[in-house]
Amino acid sequence: MSALITTIHIIVCFILIIAVLLQSGKSADLAGAFGGIGSQTVFGPRGAGNILSKATTICAILFMVTSMGLWILSARGTKSVVSGEEAPGVTETQKQPPDKKAAAAETEQKKKAEKKKPPAEKQKKEKN
């Protein structure tokens, strides 16, 4: 659904750009070239809307609708990129409760002590 709305949005954008750029300015006639305006209104003379002005209006409405549609679709599927990740700097030993940490440290010390013993003491210990 999002891909369809995105495609429509891009097409509407291009049509809107072309429609705006093809329109002539309000004082593009001969009087505008010499600084005159056609009437005394604030925004200049306003004639009947031609096909480009109607296309601009329709494209502007479609642009706003597709923009809001994409916004709603993007907000609906809000998921964190790092939802399953741990905080930086957390290791396995930090995650263990204190009593398990102490037990793990003791077993590590025992293993190191056994490695340091001479082979004769190890054999005597195994015989007992």
Scanning the structure block, which residue is given the tokens 């700097």?
89
Phi, psi of 113 (to 5 degrees): -65, -40
Residue 119 C-alpha from the chain's centroid: 63
User: Strand, helix or coil at 60?
Assistant: helix
Q: What is the pLDDT of residue 57?
A: 92
Confidence at residue 66, expressed as pLDDT on a 0 to 100 scale: 95
Residues ≥6 apart with Cβ < 8 Å to 60 = 16
Nearest 5 degrees, angle CA 125-CA 126-CA 128? 70
pTM summary value = 0.47
Q: Where are the domains positioned within the chain?
A: 100-127
Please state the φ and ψ torsions of residue 91, each to the nearest 5 degrees: -115, 175
pLDDT tens per residue across all 128 residues of the chain = 889 999 999 999 999 999 999 887 765 555 555 665 554 455 555 555 688 889 899 999 999 999 999 998 888 766 666 666 666 665 555 555 556 666 777 778 777 777 776 666 556 656 65
Q: What is the pLDDT of residue 53?
A: 87
Which pair of tokens denotes residue 118? Answer: 């001479």
